[in-house]
Each structure stands twice: as structure tokens, then as C-alpha cells.
Amino acid sequence: MNKLNGLLILICSLILLGCNDDDINEYEGDELYITVNDFIWKGLNSWYFWNTEIPALADDAFASNQAYVDFLKSQNPENLFYGLLNDYPNIDRFSWMVDDVDQLLMQFSGITVTSGMDYTLVYLNEEMGTVIGMVNYVVPNSPAHLQGIERGDLILGVNSQPLTVNNYTMLASNSFTMTIGRNPVLSNGEIFIENQIEVAVDANEIAENPVHFHQIIEEGNHRIGYLVYNGYRANYNDELNAVFADFKTAGVSDLILDLRYNSGGALNSAVGLAQMITGQFTNSPFVISEYNEKHTRFNEVYNFSEELPIYDFIEGQNVDVGTESINSLGLNRIYVLTSNGTASASELTILGLKDYIEVIQIGGRTRGKFMGSITLFDDEASDFRDYNNRNRNHAYAMQPLVFAYYNASHENHNQGLNPLYEYNFADYIGMGAFGQTTDPAYAQALSLITGYNYKESYHKASNFSTRFLGTSKTLQRFGSELYIEPQTMLR
């Protein structure tokens, strides 16, 4: 399947002279920008998690109508929005806005214009600005797939130039050429490339199924489920549940959950996945959300639940079309593969489960994001929550951080979650396809489960250090998110 009664305290009632849309339109300047900026200020004043820490967002920030309008006219929407955030991009590096709301909602469902290639970039020599990349996976039938790009390929250059901090963004463009290193080998601190090829790639609009790969491995008395899950997309909740139906039918006793390339997504998908893994903690608290003082009625404890909400992408947004009973494995231990790109909803899965079962984390330290967002539309009557009644004179929307979230013990880890067994970029050189023991983190998990030494299938890197730059997801807006579906916020 392809897949809040408003509490807004309007500034007009708080400043000395008051203001309304008619007042705003009396002033000269770009009328559209003033309208959009009015939406930005009022939406952030109402919902932004740190609204009380930003002087310009205070309810009494402006002494007069004139002062407010002059503020709205002082800069364009993007500069205004990012200027109102909490020490952007240091404290708040995750809030963002768009000028195409429909494109944003399509992204929620996994529909984007992309090459279909997910990759990790690291500094090869930070002082010189040189960069190297690795292909993490390729979406089936995407432009990258059709061009023969494979998981484990090294990205050495773009548009006939060596990859650097100045040109890596071209990998996200609509058309580019890429220098690929095929069948790389790391030896004595040097990378040797068997084949170096040039590939031309054009981006297309594709719908990515985040339930990317799964298999069942039988070793001795172990039936091991392996799942590569690359995004918490609510319109694929049913497909995720179907994989767990397969696992349950097969009698899976151990689970390797691969979240290395999962930078987050929908809260309800994370809660559902936790129930699929367990099942014995129904109605117990899994995650706690806390909003600013204007929206405390939205503070909520999300419990493990036997029912999974199902969504379809209909007329530009994910629509709740019903529920399914969750297929649960009843596990007391799970092996989770992570990377520096693992973020948000993925981190919630790990930390939330740690209150109840043993979670063995293998791979890299996670990104460290325990804040969530909602989509704000220009509809003041609904406190900026209603897509259908939004102002259609423009297409701007905001995705600001509006709540903090914690596990049942009220813990979060904004510096990231550290693995018990660490593997980084260089260790994955030559890793091969999913489900192969040449992948060191996967082999480590198999070794821990079965007691066999699968780690002989690869050699851990030495004398080769890199620093994480980002992934194709974390380097883009809305790449590392935990969000609540817009329709849910209207209930």
C-alpha cells in the first residue's frame, strides 16, 4: 500500500494598540511576505518549545502595532524563521520551514525527488577538505539502481572532480555524474579500488518503502529475524506489521533490527514497532511527550498498544484509514545496529525498549535528537493545525520542534546513545550486501546470538581514521525527525 481547540494567545490582544490583518495590509511593502511572516511569528509564539526563551517571541515583545508590523517587514520569511529559533544551528538544528507544503507532506510518506541512493559521507582529510562516501543502500527500481550502483560502493568524486566539502551537495542534485570505487579493500591504512567507474545519475520522484530488507536465518536452535528498517513512515505501518507476522509464524527467537540508515519519522510507527518486538508490556508507558506551557493539554504518555494505526497517502496527506492488530514476538532481548546517522524515532525505539528488555547496540553512536515536531499550517482558527483550511495564497509551512520526549523513566540522551560494540565507516569497506557476514555489525550480532565466530568473515579497520560528516538523510531538511502526523493533532 502506497504508502490541537486553539490555545494561541494572539499578540493583538497583548500589545498596546492591537493589530489585525486589515491593519497589517495598510502598510507598504511586500504584502505576501508580511502575511507569511505574521504566520511564522504567531505559530512559533504559540507552539515553539523554547518560546519563552526567545525575547522576540514573548507575548509582550512589541509595544505597538507599528512596532510589530515593522518587525514583520524587516526581513524575508526564511531569515525571520531561523532568526527566531533557539541559537540555530547549535541548540536547535532541527526546526525548519518550507515554501511548498505539499512537497513536505509527500516527504512524510516517503515520496521524494531523489536518485534513490542513500549514502554516508566522512572527512578523509578534514584539514584539506577532502571527503569520501559510501553507498548504504539503493532503492529498488530507482535511477541509482537502474545505473547499477550497489551497496558498499565508495563515492570518490562528483561531476568529474574529487569529492570535497565544497561539492558533495551535488550528490543531492537532480542530475550529476559520480565516480564510484567498486570492490574496495582496506589494507595497512590505505584503500585499494578494483574498479573505478563514472556513472551518470538523474533524480526522479520515487516512493521509498522503508521496510527495505528482511530475512530469517536458522542456526542451531536459533531462528533469527533480520530487518533493515530505513524510516518510520506511517503509511507503511501495515507492511512493517506483515514482516513481523512472517517472523512470528516462523517462530523467530532472536531479532537483529538494523536502524543504521534510519533517521526517524512518525511517533506512532515507533510505538507500534516496540509492541511488535515485545507484546508482553501492553498498556505500559513507552514514551512521554511534553510541550510548552501553552499546550500542556497535549502532554501525553504513549503506551504499548495491541492496535496499530494504518494510513494511506490520500489527496496530499497521510490519512488514518483504520487499525490492525499487531503481530508481537514477545522478545526479552534485541540486537540493534546503529550508526552516526541513526536518529530521533530510532533513538526512541532503543531508549524506550531499554526500560523493559535487554537492548544490545552494535555499530556507531547515534545522532542525539530527543525533540519532536509537528507541521504548522497558516490557519489561525485551528491554531495552525489544519491543512485543509490553510491560507492558500501561499504554500509556506513550518516544522518546528514543539515537544521533548522521554522513555518511561523520563530519560533522554541528547548527546547520542553509545554502542556496546563499536563499528565505524572504515570497518564497512567491503561490507557487501545486506545479510552477508562480510558486514561487521551484522556478523557481530550473529556471533553474539549463536556463539559462533562470524567475525572471521571480515577484518576490523586499523590505522584509518575518519570523522562523520553526514548521511544523505541527515544532511537534508527534515532528515532527522520524530513527528506526529498532522491529522492526529486535530483530534
pLDDT of residue 7: 26
241 and 175 within one domain: no
Burial annotation 452-478 (CB, 10 A radius, 16+ → b, else e): eebeebbeebeebebebbbbbbbbbeb
Task: Note whether residue 117 is domain-resident.
Answer: yes
Q: Which of 92, 127, 152 is the last residue of a domain?
A: 92
> Does the pLDDT at position 466 exceed 80?
yes
pLDDT of residue 315: 73
Q: Which element (helix H / strand E) includes 107?
A: helix 101-108
451 and 320 within one domain: yes
Neighbours of 346 (CB within 10 A): 33
pLDDT of residue 403: 94
Task: Note whether residue 262 is domain-resident.
Answer: yes
Tell me which residue range forms the domain holding 433.
211-459+475-490
Q: Which of 189, 206, 223 is the last residue of a domain?
A: 206
pLDDT of residue 24: 43
> Does the pLDDT at position 230 exceed 70?
yes
- Average pLDDT over every residue of 246-274: 96
**Could you tell me which of 195, 202, 57, 187 has the C-alpha nearest to residue 142?**
202
Question: pLDDT tens digits, residue range 68-99?
Answer: 999 999 999 999 999 999 999 889 988 989 99
393 and 328 within one domain: yes
pLDDT of residue 476: 79
Question: pLDDT tens digits, residue range 335-392?
Answer: 999 999 999 999 999 999 999 999 999 999 999 888 999 999 999 999 999 999 999 9
3-state secondary structure labels for all residues of 34-77: HHHHHHHHHHHHHHCCCHHHCHHHCCCCCCCHHHHHHHHCCCCH
Task: Note whether residue 4 is domain-resident.
Answer: no
Question: Is residue 445 very low, low, confident or very high in pLDDT (cuts 50, 70, 90)?
Answer: very high
CATH number of the domain to which 162 belongs: 2.30.42.10
Question: pLDDT tens digits, residue range 86-134?
Answer: 999 889 988 989 999 988 888 777 788 899 999 999 999 888 999 999 9
365 and 273 within one domain: yes
Task: Note whether residue 324 is domain-resident.
Answer: yes
When divided into structural domains, the chain yields a total of: 3
Which cell is 34 given? 508580511
367 and 254 within one domain: yes
pLDDT of residue 189: 77
Q: Could you give the percent of the chain with pLDDT greater than 90?
A: 74
CATH number of the domain to which 250 belongs: 3.90.226.10
Q: Are strands 264-266 and 481-483 parallel, antiparallel or unpaired?
A: parallel
pLDDT of residue 426: 92
304 and 196 within one domain: no
Higher pLDDT, 308 or 456: 308
Task: Note whether residue 302 is domain-resident.
Answer: yes
What CA–CA distance (Å, rounded) separates 50 from 126? 34
What CA–CA distance (Å, rounded) separates 118 from 138? 6
Task: Note whether residue 106 is domain-resident.
Answer: no
Q: Are 136 and 118 in contact (CB under 8 A)?
A: yes
CA distance to 126, 128, 164, 184, per residue, from 122 (Å): 9, 13, 10, 16
125 and 51 within one domain: no
Among the ranges given (20-34, 169-183, 317-331), the one the predictor scored with the smallest mean pLDDT = 20-34
pLDDT of residue 358: 98
Neighbours of 217 (CB within 10 A): 16
**Mean of per-residue pLDDT scores for the chain:** 89
> Does the pLDDT at position 272 exceed 90?
yes
> Does the pLDDT at position 458 exceed 80?
no
65 and 143 within one domain: no
How many secondary structure helices (H) and strands (E) does the chain include?
A: 10, 25
pLDDT of residue 15: 32
Task: Note whether residue 85 is domain-resident.
Answer: yes
117 and 84 within one domain: no
281 and 360 within one domain: yes
254 and 389 within one domain: yes
Q: Compute the chain's Rg from CA coordinates.
A: 24
Task: Note whether residue 97 is domain-resident.
Answer: no
Q: Which of 184, 206, 228 is the last residue of a domain?
A: 206
242 and 195 within one domain: no
Question: Is residue 187 very low, low, confident or very high in pLDDT (cuts 50, 70, 90)?
Answer: confident
